[in-house]
Amino acid sequence: MERHKILAVDDEPTNLQIIRVILKEHYDLAFATNGEEGLQAAFKHVPDLLLLDVMMPGLDGYELCRALKEDPRTRRIPIIFVTAMGHVDDEKKGFQLGAVDYITKPISPPILKARVATHLALYNQNRELEKAVDRRTHELQTSRLKVIQRLGRASEYKDDETGAHIIRMSHYARMTALSAGISQKEAARLFNAAPMHDVGKIGIPDSILQKKGPLNAEEWATMKRHPQIGAEIIGEDYSELLKHARIIALTHHEKWNGTGYPEGLAGEKIPYEGRIVALADVFDALTSKRPYKEAWPIEKALKHIAEEAGAHFDPTLVTAFLKIKKHLQWVLTKWGDAE
């Protein structure tokens, strides 16, 4: 069984020796003789528990505790003050700073052993609980993602597009986001939410979706309802992924100049997710073969995208999009529709 690591910080070597004698049989010990040294040792050894004196020159125990609790690397490590400062206000301050216990000197071996064992047991329980929560959270996120991907595929069955469309445009959206300076986390979330952009087409009659010729005014009005239908299908949810998916479904047909649908939003009033997916969706439509058109060469499609900057598309995003031509070509080659 792996032994727990304990770091003891005290400017009196005698006190450290006492702690060593009491605990050495059951724990791996590290020692520091001042606050600054203790801070560095905590980062280096990442102990399972810290024993801190209060009265030390330079960085005292209280300040050391505060520094450790403010740093994400060490904030969860239990801290026990072991000090000669036994006034109730001293003890109160220690707990307010985040310590789990407060032991006054002279050190009683049975008390030190019992308190250390108790807080290490609680620490282990908390870590196992956190691992269980992380596992469950991952399972829920994975389940949501699978539902999103399958609903995205369901919308493709109603249309003349192929399943590869949602793969390509999701990659295009993620790459555009990264090129525009959006964080890796947000770009990944966009990638996973983008497949739901056309889920509202589930609610559009096949006679309209699969019509070979142009739509009449009534049919077009029906078709333009699919963003709102998609938003209603996804619904309101606390999940960040589903929130993004709903925004994308609702706004990916809005245009920068305000002539899009369903709300006629313009400029930055269109959520950035919708602006990015609009670019990705149109580019993929242009470069894909359809029953009513041949696939455009990538150069022709990019020229059209550039011409639509400030009209259909956010000009800043168009600039970011044009920078990733090689990546766009790679996706188109890897997931291009079979002839």
More confident residue, 8 or 132: 8
The answer on pLDDT for 148 being more than 70 is no
Residue 180: CA count within 13 A, CB half-sphere: 21
- Residue type at 71? D
SS3 at position 31: strand
The secondary structure of residue 187, as a DSSP letter, is: H
Listed residue (264, 275, 258) closest to 190, CA to CA: 275
Residues 6+ apart with CB under 8 A from 242: 144, 148, 193, 234, 235
The answer on pLDDT for 303 being more than 60 is yes
The 28-32 sheet, strands edge to edge: 28-32, 5-9, 49-52, 79-83, 101-104
**C-alpha span between 301 and 88 (Å, rounded):** 74
- Residue type at 179? S
What rounded mean pLDDT belongs to the chain?
Answer: 88
Mean pLDDT for the stretch of residues 237-252: 89
Beta strands 28-32 and 49-52, pairing class: unpaired
Burial letters for 156-168: b for 16+ Cβ neighbours within 10 Å, e otherwise? Answer: bebbebbebbbbb
pLDDT of residue 293: 77
Scanning the chain, the segments in alpha helix (DSSP H) are 13-23, 35-45, 61-70, 88-96, 109-157, 164-179, 184-193, 206-209, 217-223, 226-234, 240-251, 272-286, 298-307, 315-322, 325-334
Q: Find the helix packing angle between 226-234 and 240-251, rounded to 10°.
A: 170
pLDDT of residue 162: 53
Q: Do 300 and 325 contact (CB within 8 A), yes or no?
A: no
Q: Do 282 and 291 contact (CB within 8 A), yes or no?
A: no
| 17-48 residue pLDDT tens | 999 999 999 999 999 999 999 999 999 888 99
Beta strands 5-9 and 49-52, pairing class: parallel
pLDDT of residue 123: 86
Q: Do 41 and 73 contact (CB within 8 A), yes or no?
A: no
- Token code pair at residue 72: 């994400």
More confident residue, 91 or 293: 91
pLDDT of residue 155: 63
**C-alpha span between 74 and 171 (Å, rounded):** 37
The answer on pLDDT for 278 being more than 60 is yes
What values do phi and psi take at 107, rounded to 5? Answer: -70, 130
pLDDT of residue 163: 61
pLDDT of residue 153: 62
- Token code pair at residue 98: 């985040």
The answer on pLDDT for 113 being more than 90 is yes
Q: Find the helix packing angle between 184-193 and 240-251, rounded to 10°.
A: 60
Q: Computed over its alpha carbons, how large is the radius of gyration of the chain? A: 30
pLDDT of residue 154: 62
Mean pLDDT for the stretch of residues 64-69: 93
Q: Which of 20-24, 74-78, 164-168 has the lowest mean pLDDT?
A: 164-168
Q: What is the set of domains in the chain, with CATH numbers? A: 5-131 (3.40.50.2300), 160-334 (1.10.3210.10)
**Is-above-0.95 flag for pTM?**
no
| 183-235 residue pLDDT tens | 999 999 899 889 889 889 888 888 888 787 788 999 999 999 999 999 998 88
- Residue type at 314? D
Burial letters for 73-84: b for 16+ Cβ neighbours within 10 Å, e otherwise? Answer: ebeebbbbbbbe
The answer on pLDDT for 151 being more than 80 is no
Q: Do 40 and 46 contact (CB within 8 A), yes or no?
A: no
pLDDT of residue 138: 66
